[in-house]
A and B are shown apart, each in its own frame.
Chain A
Amino acid sequence: MSQEKIRKIRVGVASCGVAAGADAVLELLRSRAESIPVEGTGCLGHCYAEPMVEVLLDNGDSIFYRNVKAENGYIDNILSLGEKDRFEVPPARKAKELIKVLALAGRIDPTRFEDYTENGGYEGLKRALSMTPADVVNEVKLSGLRGRGGGGFPTGTKWSFLAAKDAPEKILICNADEGDPGAFMDRSLMESVPHQVLEGMLIAAYATGATKLFIYCRAEYPMAICHLKIAINQIYEHKLNVINGRELEIIIKEGAGAFVCGEETALIASLEGQRGTPRFRPPFPTDSGWKGYPSMINNVETFGNVPLILREGAAAFAAIGTEGSKGTKLFALAGDLKNPGLVEVPMGTTLREIVFDIGGADPDKVKAVQTGGPSGGCIPVELFDTPVDYDSLKKLGAIMGSGGMIVIGKDRCMVETARYFLDFTHRESCGKCTFCRVGTTRMFETLERIVAGKGEMADLEFLEDIGPKIRMGSLCGLGQTAPNPVLATLRYYRHEYEAHVKDHQCEALQCSALVDMYLDKTNCIKCKLCVKTCPVGAISDDLVIDNEKCTRCNACKDVCPKKTIHRVKKGSIQ
């Protein structure tokens, strides 16, 4: 290795990096690197390799290190440009990804204004300001950008609604209430490139004549809120918020933990300081929203796309993607796979490419993928050649949603997965519509019975009957989509439901009520670690598990060095 000089060192310190210990790595590197600048940056999307360190060399090259620990050995290796723990983007992932929206994520210091402007930041706004507002709306229309929050409504059309309004105040709201469990695209974007989201908002404000800008962000995202606040102050300093001669106020409002507030009218109610219950539409928010003023809501990722469209032109944007879905999409890939992380692919990429090529999941071990969070559905592995765009996924009874994608392995029970989602939605139902409030609760109770082995065949008919009724009888997206996980799993995995009901069997051996623990003494070395570990004293000294006492917590199974303890079908032990 030729001794190139180190110009700078970057450590990924977004939330997931910090959770993996990146802040300690950053601190140690700072104390060790002497004159070399060490800075914190955002997320590169390779969560499995966190904490990640990038070493920038004088010749312009970069060397990445993965899974770095805050120990001198690791730091020595990095500072001497050692060969150990080097990281390269897996070639299969590199080939399929197209990084546009996330181009600066993990490559700049999100708290430094110049880092953004030196890399093309605010050029989109500059170009927009040189056009008429109507032309900007038209540019976004031509790009074919659709709402990234899940609905998929054409963004330019939405903008034209607000632009057409004549009112003393017009409100622009960024929906950063990323409530889908399993989704973290918006968090990453706000933490890593906060200015990009804000630039999109300023462009929208110019195009639509908005006078007040809100960001409604989950309180669970403290780092995102912190970076946005810093960025907003920088915008004020540089007077970028002066648009059409008016100084625009940008206000961050922290959500307070209610999934339903992702819905437009509920979000507005929450912004007004009320209970976040949705209301009937029309009037649509663009007619009457926050305090009765015309209001428009776009998602974080939607705003994140806007600067690209203005900078590179609508045609370049529309050249990516499929007929009805343009541009790229961010997906938060997690669950049973090797390389979880944040990925960006052109619309129309197939599930197979995302889950296997990019995510590195084992094709023999994957059962399904869950898209769109609790509002979405499970798509079985047999249908993985489906291109991911708004319309194809809808046909399969799932939705693209905001971009959460959870890979479900073969050892997971689909009935339990459906139960989990209904547990979530029935608790998050705001209670306004009877069908959602009572219907989701009944669905949940029915699923609880089935996973406990106490279900009947009539329960399956009940689920299929009530699902569409909840869909029809609910005002907002939460209720309308809440039955999706159940109906989709019933559609593709009915045999699993039937096995629970008829044979009291959980194929995946996950549902504890239908499982016994069994210690196979063949390979047992009698170390008795299991006996010591068992929290309820269910394993006797002669190594027999008392399944009456056992809580199926798996502690013994995990601790056994010889893997002699198994979950087996209830009653199958002789």
Chain B
Amino acid sequence: MDQKYAFLEKVGKEPSNLIKGLQAVQGAEGYVSDESIAAISEYFGIPAVEVEGVLSFYAQFKRVKPGKYKIAICDGTACHIKGSTQVGEWLSRELGIKSGETDARGHFSLETVACLGCCSLAPVMSVNGRVYGKLDRKSIVKILKEYENK
């Protein structure tokens, strides 16, 4: 196996740990590449097609390299009621990318998630896991500016 994926050794070899293995890869690289699927397939002794079958089932796994700053728009019920559709539109417009895309320089990527569990602060989004609440257009522009030059 490629030395690059040596960290998989920390995950038990039983096939029931496949999801854990995929999470380890995504944690290290930010997404699951074709190359890493091959490594996982070899490590667990599971055909690559089955690995792909499992990972495509779960929303968490990304097959495209995300940006340096991963923006997740919460579209849970409370956020939806409080206007998350517009939050998404504003972000798309500011960044010039749609949900599920990464910008050309690999700085920002945008995705829509089901619920971040901070419903009382709706509408919310997160940037690399840090949650921002009670969003409006002004605060979004401000937050993006903060990350723009980081």
Interface, chain A (partner B; CB < 8 A): 15-16, 18-20, 47-48, 50, 178-184, 187, 219-222, 253-259, 270-277, 291, 332-336, 340-341, 370, 373-374, 404, 406, 408-409, 412, 417, 420-421, 424, 428, 430, 533, 535, 551, 553-555, 558-559
Contact = CB atoms under 8 A, between A and B. Distances in A.
Nearest to A23: B130
B97 interface: no
Contacts of B81: 335-336, 406, 408-409, 412, 417
Nearest to A412: B81
B86 A553 contact: yes
For the complex of A and B, the 5 pairs showing the least CB-CB separation, nearest first, are A47-B120, A181-B76, A182-B77, A340-B120, A256-B58
A15 B131 contact: yes
Interface string B45-67: 00000000110011111000000
Most buried by B among A19, A272, A412, A559: A19
A176 to B, nearest CB: 12
A16 B118 contact: yes
Given A257-B59, A274-B54, A553-B86, A181 B115 contact: yes
B114 A19 contact: no
Nearest to A536: B93
B122 interface: yes
A219 B120 contact: no
Given A19-B121, A258-B59, A424-B114, A181 B23 contact: no
Given A181-B115, A334-B122, A257 B76 contact: no
Given A258-B59, A553-B86, A183 B19 contact: no
B137 interface: yes
Given A47-B121, A273-B18, A220 B116 contact: yes
B141 to A, nearest CB: 10
Nearest to A186: B117
B7 to A, nearest CB: 16
B16 A273 contact: yes
Given A16-B120, A273-B20, 9 more contacts: A16-B131, A19-B133, A256-B22, A272-B16, A276-B57, A291-B16, A335-B81, A535-B90, A553-B89
B57 A19 contact: no
Contacts of B18: 273-274
Contact of B119 (A334, A336, A412, A554): A334
Contact of A219 (B23, B76, B89, B131): B23
A554 B86 contact: yes
A335 B82 contact: yes
B93 A256 contact: no
9 contacts: A16-B118, A47-B120, A178-B117, A181-B79, A187-B117, A220-B115, A272-B16, A553-B90, A558-B136
B110 to A, nearest CB: 16
Contact of A184 (B16, B19, B83, B118): B118
Contacts of B115: 179-183, 220
A39 B18 CA distance: 38
A271 B16 contact: yes
A335 B118 contact: no
A181 B120 contact: no
Contacts of A187: 117
A257 B58 contact: yes
B78 interface: yes
Interface of B: 14-20, 22-23, 53-54, 57-61, 75-83, 86, 89-90, 93, 113-122, 124, 129, 131-133, 136-137
Nearest to B57: A275
A149 B132 CA distance: 28
Contacts of A180: 77, 115
A553 B116 CA distance: 23
Contacts of B113: 220, 257
Given A19-B118, A182-B76, A406-B77, A273 B15 contact: yes
B59 A256 contact: yes
Contacts of B15: 272-273
A273 B66 CA distance: 24
Contacts of A48: 120
Contacts of A271: 16
Contact of A340 (B83, B89, B90, B119): B119
Most buried by B among A18, A254, A555: A555
A487 to B, nearest CB: 18
Nearest to B46: A273
B16 A182 contact: no
B37 to A, nearest CB: 15
Contacts of A276: 57-58
A184 B119 contact: yes
Contacts of B131: 15-16, 18-19
A255 B114 CA distance: 14
A281 to B, nearest CB: 20
A252 to B, nearest CB: 10
Given A256-B22, A257-B60, A553-B89, A182 B78 contact: yes
B33 to A, nearest CB: 17
Contacts of A219: 23, 60
Contact of A20 (B54, B78, B133): B133
A420 B80 contact: yes
Contacts of B118: 15-16, 19, 184
B133 to A, nearest CB: 5
Contacts of B20: 253-254, 273
A208 B20 CA distance: 28
B144 to A, nearest CB: 14
Contact of B93 (A18, A220, A535, A558): A535
B63 to A, nearest CB: 14
A18 B76 CA distance: 19
Contacts of B82: 335
Nearest to B58: A256
Nearest to A535: B93
Contact of B90 (A19, A50, A412, A555): A555
B74 to A, nearest CB: 8
A558 B83 CA distance: 12
